[in-house]
Amino acid sequence: MNLIVVGSGIAGLSAALHAHERGHSVTVVTKGSLGDGCTGYAQGGVAGLYGPDDSPALHAADTLTAAAGLADPAAVEILVDGAAERIAELIARGVAFDRSADGSLLRGREAAHSRARIVHAGGDATGAAIAGTLVAATRASDVSVVENAFLLDLVVTDGTARGVRLLIDDVSTVLEADAVVLATGGAGHLYSHTTNPEGTTGDGIAAAIRAGAAVADLEFVQFHPTILAAGPAFLVSEAVRGEGATLIDDEGRRFTLESHPDGELAPRDVVARAIARRAAEQGSPVRLDATMLGAETLRRRFPTIDRVTRQRGFDWSTTPIPVTPAAHYLMGGIVTDTDGRTTIPGLFAVGETARTGVHGANRLASNSLLEGAVFGARAAAALALPWPAASDTRPVAPPAPVSAARNTHAVPFTRAALQRLMWDEVGLLRSAEGIRRACDTIAVWAAQPLPLQSIADHEDANLLTLAAATATAALARTESVGSHHLESAIAPVLETV
């Protein structure tokens, strides 16, 4: 079978390598260079190395709890049951996860995990180690690679995905295939402040929406609690809190215990909201106090964070550092079954692009690299299987357009204006009225034709599509759950990143 994989993070490259190893002819298409994207930035690690007091069942229970009751237990079981094999595969491909002096793999802990079960590499450079290894494996294989190719649209013929239309060197080009895997990541650049690298603009999800694929759970956007509140967004891994660091306010008080008995290790959405509220109350960022870990541990365990914080003028071994939340991960996406199949025959989605059901309303830390590896491999295996009956996979209409615009005074559309609107109205702390305002403004913008000349223009159009779908989904969910949190009195989220 001829397969096109769009995207080259852990999910895309896992799908590509597995498909290639199963005898398929594979082309990986990627927007920048192979391995660009979110995977390389992941600090925490891969969840799923179970010690004697731990098990896949406990990991599943933690995943379901963090998901606020909205994860699919069957999908979660597949995720955790696949962990051992996928971690072993990454090691076999050459990922040097950190080990203790006796050679055993080290296990880290992060928020909402009841056990230390996260493997990491280079201390806090796990994603870079994985991306480097998978890129090298891909380049060493017969997988064809097309870099600097922007996904314009899916080619769908008679209801079946048959390829992709790409923009390469300003020329629109069609690549045909028997099946397409979308692995283009999330859409962090919907927001003014995000941990995601440039280019994370929801291109695959927007293309799938245009093609009529079902999407779901787009209202569930995860905000990482601890971004260094100085300079360009830089993530300070949750693993730092897993090692014992605390969050303190201006009075030096640990305030997260007021929100949850697990304090700093409560689910990510709870911690992020507690930080935003306390920062708004005191009018300055809260601080992450890692001083108790000592300079030597901080340098060894978190070399990247140690380097960047020092470059930005902080000695975190002696002084707590200012932190603030930023958009980090999209729990929703293109609806798939547990083999990555979407509602369009021939179209698969894996990784953050997909809504497999494993994250519900809030993703558990370090489950994203695991998801990419597990479901990337499963999608490759499913290529040989017959597509399920049409009744299960019928394409559905794209999300209903946002309401007819009531607000005729919207500022002109720019990416920055959209990001600001989403940050203010469909962000960490939301209100029904604010979401409605966002819907109205987005409707005004969506009614005006956008220029579609450059890649940036196409990205803007994709972000607008995603914003409309996200705001519509948020409006439809009238109760707070997980990362979708409605408050009547909204505390401003500090603009400190």
| 14 touches ligand SIN (CB under 6 A) | no
Measured from the CB atom, the residue of 150 and 191 that comes closer to ligand SIN is 191
Torsion angle, CA of 166/167/171/176, rounded to 10 degrees? -10
Q: CA 230, CA 308: separation in Å to the nearest integer?
A: 11
Total residues in contact with ligand SIN, by rule CB under 6 A: 9
User: Which span (41-49, 59-67, 249-257, 425-433) binds ligand SIN, by CB under 6 A?
Assistant: 41-49
User: For the purposes of burial, counting CB atoms within 10 Å of the CB of 448, is it exposed (0-12), middle (13-18) or buried (19 or more)?
Assistant: exposed
| 483 touches ligand SIN (CB under 6 A) | no
Measured from the CB atom, the residue of 127 and 320 that comes closer to ligand SIN is 127
Measured from the CB atom, the residue of 24 and 241 that comes closer to ligand SIN is 241
Q: CA 2, CA 391: separation in Å to the nearest integer?
A: 26
| 342 touches ligand SIN (CB under 6 A) | no
Measured from the CB atom, the residue of 156 and 290 that comes closer to ligand SIN is 290
| 239 touches ligand SIN (CB under 6 A) | yes
Measured from the CB atom, the residue of 238 and 440 that comes closer to ligand SIN is 238
| 237 touches ligand SIN (CB under 6 A) | yes
50-56 contacts at long range (C-beta below 8 A, 24 or more positions apart): 50/83, 50/84, 50/115, 50/117, 51/107, 51/115, 51/116, 51/117, 53/115, 54/115, 54/117, 56/80, 56/81, 56/83
| Annotated catalytic residue, options 86, 107, 162, 268 | 268
| 44 touches ligand SIN (CB under 6 A) | yes
| 365 touches ligand SIN (CB under 6 A) | yes
Least spacing, CB of residue 382 vs ligand SIN, in Å = 25
| 238 touches ligand SIN (CB under 6 A) | yes
| 360 touches ligand SIN (CB under 6 A) | no
Least spacing, CB of residue 77 vs ligand SIN, in Å = 20
268: annotated active-site residue: yes
Residues contributing to the site for ligand SIN (CB under 6 A)? 42-44, 237-239, 365-366, 368
Active site residues per annotation: 268
